[in-house]
Structure 1
Amino acid sequence: MRALYFICFVGIMILGSSCSYKQNQILFEKKAPIADTLSQTAATISYHIQPQDILQIRNLQNLKYIVDEAPTSNSSVSNGGSASGQGQTFQVEEDGTVALPALGHIQVAGLTRTQATKLIEDLYRKSLLKDPIIELKVINLKVTLLGEVKSPGNFPILKDNTTLVELIGQAGGLTPAANEKNIKIIRGKNKTQNVTEIDLSNLNSLSDPRTLLQNGDIIYVAQNKRAIRTDNLQNFNTWVQPALLLLNTALIIFTLSRQ
């Protein structure tokens, strides 16, 4: 009979422990120095426009140029397409030029967004518009966010100096299972890939240049140790619970047969 009580007690403890969980995240609490590395310097360089990039351009001063006056339902990204009042889209060609209304082909490859914006403003000012205010975005740039965030997926980078914290905010924040001390930024392709580990429990990570995101980055948020233990325990329970049930049933039958 004591063996029966013991088996039942163990079963109850295992079932109870599988349901217990406590969030254990501490963000931006401690202050620790961050090593000065070459990757920090590289991360602060602004993006330069490349062939095949897709530019979204509009003139904030005069909607008769660059942007259609009447919004359309066509949101496809193509050369000269419209994005429902957000600005027309133009693809940079292989030779590095982009064809713009009334200007023709303009060389933009190799320029930063700021440089390309100023160039287009100056050209329109000289030939067509009075005091144009050009807004230019490169809308094909994106990063991929995976792991323990509430809404993982692909996210566009529409401005320079987009940070890791901003991206996690767009994704709804970390899940309770996230390890804030182990967030990896994977950058580059093939043999040139490098991995940067970010500790968001460190307040200094907010000013860490390595957290400035670049096109094509893959960010992975790992599980914390508590979540890993919980998963392991749940996997253990998937086969222990039926075994305990079978054993309890056998013990009950055996006990009753002895009476």
Structure 2
Amino acid sequence: MQKTIYIKNSLLIFTILLLLSACSARKEKTLFNASTDIVTDTIKQVYVVNDQGLGDLYYKIKVNDILAVRNVQNKEFGSTSSTAASSSGSATNVTAYPVDNDGKVNLPAIGKIAVAGLTRKEVTAKLQAIYEEKQLVDPIIEVSIVNVKVTLLGEFMKQGNFLLERDNTTLIDILGEAGGITKTADPKTLKIIRGDRSNPEIIYVNLNDINSLASKKLILQNNDIIVLQPTKSSVLGEKLQSFNNIIQPLLVVINLAVLIFTFTR
């Protein structure tokens, strides 16, 4: 009788330990914890830690950036350069040119052109005018910056690096490219890590509230890291499932031991 009670008590203690362990699972799976992290359940729309003001609405080209330049009217334009990759990773029919240490880019027919400090639209207009002077027939120049990107990690349908191919790309634009969020995602836990990695600005977003979409903080900047955590229940379920795989064989052994003990008393 005492052995039976001991076995049952041991099983009860084991179950309690299991539940306590499962409760800490959410914390273990949280990406990029910060000392400034807040209780996300209290966020109504957008909350900013270490606010560094509004970023550039229009990205300005820098040294070592890579420009994709094409003339819509001429598919052979710049065909000797390497092709650029799109957000999906597939090669495009657009050629890429690096910005050198002098802030210039070396382009077909016109040579080196200063572009550092200019926006994409400004560079497009500048190249359009220069190529027209070179007597190209009705050039239609398109320019994109192929190394400007954000990184999505966590509960998105597709994780990885995504190019900011357009000016003023918003969080919703990128979520659309990623296919949305997973069924196990907690929409109250999205955060954007921006700026200096040693002292970043952290933007917490509650995707449940449509009013959060109006925030200009959701205009994405180069090298933003966007993180989305799973719900507590999904993490708990995953943890319980892993423990269940251990418990099931153990329960069989315990039940067998109880039966043997009962029949041999």
Q: What is the TM-score of this pair, normalised by structure 1?
A: 0.75
C-alpha distance in 2 between matches for 1:93 and 1:136? 17
How much has 1:128 moved relative to structure 2? 2.4
Distance of aligned partners of 1:86 and 1:38 in 2 relative to their CA distance in 1, 3 Å threshold: farther
Distance of aligned partners of 1:209 and 1:183 in 2 relative to their CA distance in 1, 3 Å threshold: same
Asked if structure 2 preserves the Cα contact closer than 8 Å seen for 1:44 and 1:209, the reply is: no
| Residue 195 of structure 2 corresponds to residue 183 of structure 1 | no
How much has 1:121 moved relative to structure 2? 0.3
Distance of aligned partners of 1:128 and 1:163 in 2 relative to their CA distance in 1, 3 Å threshold: same
C-alpha distance in 1 between matches for 2:204 and 2:149? 20
C-alpha distance in 1 between matches for 2:103 and 2:220? 24
Asked if structure 2 preserves the Cα contact closer than 8 Å seen for 1:56 and 1:90, the reply is: yes
How much has 1:151 moved relative to structure 2? 1.8
1:139 pairs with one of 146, 166, 175 = 146
Distance of aligned partners of 1:147 and 1:51 in 2 relative to their CA distance in 1, 3 Å threshold: same
| Residue 107 of structure 2 corresponds to residue 100 of structure 1 | yes
Q: Which residue of 1 aligns with 2:156?
A: 149
Distance of aligned partners of 1:190 and 1:62 in 2 relative to their CA distance in 1, 3 Å threshold: closer
Instruction: Give 3-state SS (helix, strand or coil) of 1:90's partner.
Output: strand
- How do 1:36-55 residues align onto structure 2 when only pairs under 5 Å count? 42-43=54-55, 45-55=57-67
Q: What is the TM-score of this pair, normalised by structure 2?
A: 0.74
How much has 1:131 moved relative to structure 2? 3.3
RMSD: 3.4
2:235 pairs with one of 206, 228, 233 = 228
Asked if structure 2 preserves the Cα contact closer than 8 Å seen for 1:40 and 1:210, the reply is: no
- How do 1:104-253 residues align onto structure 2 when only pairs under 5 Å count? 104-253=111-260
1:23-63: CA deviation from partner (whole Å, max 9, x where unpaired): xxxxxxxxx66579995952352111111111111111233
Asked if structure 2 preserves the Cα contact closer than 8 Å seen for 1:141 and 1:156, the reply is: yes
| Residue 68 of structure 2 corresponds to residue 56 of structure 1 | yes
Q: Which runs of 5+ in 2 are unaligned?
A: 16-21, 23-43, 85-89
C-alpha distance in 1 between matches for 2:48 and 2:235? 32
How much has 1:75 moved relative to structure 2? 5.1
Number of equivalent positions: 228
Instruction: Give 3-state SS (helix, strand or coil) of 1:192's partner.
Output: coil
How much has 1:126 moved relative to structure 2? 1.6
Asked if structure 1 preserves the Cα contact closer than 8 Å seen for 2:70 and 2:78, the reply is: yes
Instruction: Give 3-state SS (helix, strand or coil) of 2:229's partner.
Output: strand
How much has 1:231 moved relative to structure 2? 2.8
Instruction: Give 3-state SS (helix, strand or coil) of 2:54's partner.
Output: helix
Distance of aligned partners of 1:220 and 1:35 in 2 relative to their CA distance in 1, 3 Å threshold: closer
C-alpha distance in 2 between matches for 1:37 and 1:110? 28
How much has 1:238 moved relative to structure 2? 4.2
C-alpha distance in 2 between matches for 1:254 and 1:118? 88
Of residues 85-94 and 135-144 in structure 1, the stretch that sits farther from structure 2 once superposed is 85-94
